[in-house]
Structure 1
Amino acid sequence: MIPQEIIRRKRDGEELGPADINSFIAALAAGQLSEGQIGAFAMAVWFKGMSRQETVALTLAMADSGDRLQWADIDRPIADKHSTGGVGDNVSLMLAPIAAACGLAVPMISGRGLGHTGGTLDKLESIPGYMITPDADLFHKVVKEAGCAIIGQTGTLAPADGRLYAVRDVTATVDSIPLITASILSKKLAAGLQTLVLDVKVGNGAFMADRAQAEILARSLVEVANGAGVKTSALITDMNQPLADSAGNAVEMRNCLDFLAGGKADTRLATVVLAFAAEMLVKSAIAASSEEADGMARQALSSGRAAEVFARMVSMLGGPPDLIENPDRYLARAPVEKSIPAARSGWLAACDARGIGVSVIDLGGGRRHPKDRIDHRVGFSELLPLGTRVSAGDPIALVHAADEAAAEKAAAALAGHYHITEDRPEPTPVITGLI
């Protein structure tokens, strides 16, 4: 294999065969390619794209660049969910135990915050003792005995993706549909999944602000995953406002515990969590219809079985066994908590969800650089949903900050992220499509 010949052919718009792609990715994983060659390949793909067959081959090659997890001794369907990222998106924290309580095995490999979006792993690290990188044996044991485990990617899982992504990040080639598709799905294939559901978010708080682009990405992910042998579907969901009524780390973990205790019924968040649970159960043939699956998910939640699964997962991964009963004992609170008043009377008609995510980072709840330390205590809670009528001075959220100055700055920023009008806005659905 001559790397520059493969790069040249893709640069000139030729379709690469599986053998070419396999040899290039094998060399990448083995450290035999220069960063220049990797960057040139990524840029060639960015400009010329890839056919569906090429994208499937790239995804499979990256999945095969490291270990593939095996679940032969688990007699449950192996399923997972992935989100393209948003603000106040803590769906995975509740979805995994609900799905497990309904009979699925969910080995969920999650990520940290990226840009303005929060990361599932950062939220879990607000729990004292929780291990996000257990060894393979413990990961397997937790999935088998608890039904689900939410952890971070290990260095042996799709390692080619890690090196390729690092180069894409500094060569302006992150936003390539084939490369995004292969990056997301290679890790899911390596996790040994049988079924997968995808949450492709669209709106001002998502990476895809344009609906047409979100649909292109969703179709690419679904078609490539199915082409690689994993039963997959995608829901397109709205991200023009935070999904949960909290944005941060410990505050979203508290939101999760409230949800599992039944405290977030009839919210946008509940709509999304239950829809994904139903889709997972139908795809895995645990339920025959969406209606049956919805009933199963609601029963797992109302009976407390989902909360029990979550508690067992946390305990087995090193966290406190009584987290659900005593959250205040373990989830640190910020020193300053301050209500944020509405600037005027009217209807909350729109908000800058991306700006809210950036405000969490400004508080210290996210990273500007990979090595930044996160303050898990900070963020926003009690965020009112769009379509709420407020009077001037009514609280629209609560800020959690390390000090008074940070609280004042964040409060002013958040108030500015909301648009209040005299006319009531038209309600918008949180789930806008199924692919």
Structure 2
Amino acid sequence: MLSIPDLIKKKRDGGALSDEEIKAFIESVTDKTIQDCQTGAMLMAIWQKGMTDKEIVTLTKEMMLSGEVMSWPKEWAGLVVDKHSTGGVGDKVSLVLTPALAACGYKVPMISGRGLAHTGGTLDKLESIPGFNIQQSTDQVKVGNSLGMRTGAALSSMDGTIGRCVGNSLEVIECLETLKGKGPNDLMELVTTLGGLLLKMTGSVSDLSEGKKKISDAVIGGAALSKFQAMMEKQGVDSEAARALCSADTDYYSILRKSKHQIKLETPADGDVVDVDGMMLAEVLHKLGAGRSKSGDSVNHSVGVKLLVSLGQKVQKGASWLELHYEDPAPTADQISQLQSALTLGPHTQQNTPTQTVVKELLLPQ
């Protein structure tokens, strides 16, 4: 067996690692016998030289087996489904999709993480709900299927924001509004498409359109909202607070944290909203405390933005287009300028009106 430095050199020089060599690398990471700089060097070599399909399958398998492997009751056979994403600005899909799938009779583990980028991850969003306890006990389509997991993928547009809100508490509010049947179209398209795809893959529906309708009915009809309320209560949220959050006319900020300050930014000219740069918004929010730079950093759940315009919308100079929620200290003039630069206006024209399609392509298991 080659030493760790030899394994790094082998991959750096374009060699294919054997099953045993990959297993040795993963074991050295999990038992902490490898230096951090060596781990980084190996990952860099893998990034630069790539891996064969066989290497990818083995690496994924060894990573999976390196931690706690969960098992499910036999009566759950064919009912356990899950969804994961590369993320995005305002990515709140899981908070709507999971209860919708549960309302359709499925079991959704939702092994989620915290955010280490511009804004919080799924767990950070959930923790913006007072009392929510996430500490509960127990990309490749070909790779998942090779390991016995029926796997599909959806490629979607991610250059803008998902929905209209970015920031943990604001995104939770938008999810609750969606579960009450009042969500933005792009978020609902992602939820129904991903959910419909999962239902088709399990064989409970004959085609994607039937699956999308079943997920949509679970959301619009209120069954998914009931599941979300039950989920909150099971994970530590006070029952009265959970009920209030899910009621029709609730004051969300009687329960969720609200930022100390809110300001609205105005459009600099007349025109059509051609683009809103989601990453630009996220980078400013990160600096204002909505995300973390390293593991262990705290996240301010109240920091965020709410879009007040839609793509293709005609606006007049001076109209409010963005509502910024922030704490002390106030955003700098440069940060305000960055936020303003995220908005692109164009002349009034029919070509500026975007299509609603967010999901661009589906990759289905063979």
Query: Which residue, out of 368, 371, 374, partners 2:299?
Result: 374
Deviates more, 1:397-406 or 1:351-360: 397-406
Alignment of 1:291 onto 2:216 = no
Q: Which runs of 4+ in 1 moved over 6 A?
A: none
Q: Does the 8 A contact of 2:196 with 2:208 survive in 1?
A: yes
Q: Which residue of 2 aligns with 1:417?
A: 342
Q: Which residue of 2 aligns with 1:51?
A: 52
Matches of 1:361 and 1:33 in 2, distance apart? 32
Q: Does the 8 A contact of 1:56 with 1:227 survive in 2?
A: yes
Q: Deviations over 1:164-219 (max 9, x none)?
A: xxxxxxxxxxxxxxxxx5xxxxxxxxxxxxxxxxxxxxxxxxxxxxxxxxxxxxxx
Q: Which residue of 1 aligns with 2:227?
A: 309
Matches of 1:236 and 1:400 in 2, distance apart? 31
Q: How does 1:192-341 map to 2 (within 5 A)?
A: 221-264=140-183, 267-321=185-239, 322=243, 323-325=245-247, 326=250, 327-341=252-266
Q: Does the 8 A contact of 2:303 with 2:326 survive in 1?
A: yes
- Sequence identity, in percent? 34
What TM-score results when the alignment is normalised by the length of structure 1?
Answer: 0.76
Q: Which residue of 2 aligns with 1:434?
A: 362
Describe the SS at the equivalent of 1:83. Answer: coil
Q: Which residue of 2 aligns with 1:145?
A: none
Unaligned runs of 5+ in 1: 137-180, 182-220
Describe the SS at the equivalent of 2:324. Answer: strand
Q: Deviations over 1:383-408 (max 9, x none)?
A: 42221111111111211122583397
Given the superposition, is the C-alpha separation of residues 382 and 74 from structure 1 closer, same or farther in structure 2, using an over 3 Å criterion?
farther
Deviates more, 1:243-252 or 1:43-52: 43-52
Matches of 2:295 and 2:41 in 1, distance apart? 24
What TM-score results when the alignment is normalised by the length of structure 2?
Answer: 0.90
Matches of 1:24 and 1:409 in 2, distance apart? 45
TM superposition shift of 1:364: 1.8
Matches of 2:277 and 2:132 in 1, distance apart? 32
Describe the SS at the equivalent of 2:183. Answer: coil
Unaligned runs of 5+ in 2: none
TM superposition shift of 1:413: 3.4
Deviates more, 1:309-318 or 1:385-394: 385-394
Q: Which residue of 2 aligns with 1:394?
A: 319
The alignment of Structure 1 onto Structure 2 pairs a total of residues equal to 351
Q: How does 1:155-170 map to 2 (within 5 A)?
A: none
Matches of 2:58 and 2:9 in 1, distance apart? 18
Describe the SS at the equivalent of 1:104. Answer: coil
Describe the SS at the equivalent of 1:288. Answer: coil
Matches of 2:75 and 2:331 in 1, distance apart? 49
Matches of 2:327 and 2:273 in 1, distance apart? 28
How large is the Cα RMSD of the aligned pairs?
A: 2.0
Q: Deviations over 1:234-284 (max 9, x none)?
A: 11111121111000110111001100000115x111111111110111112
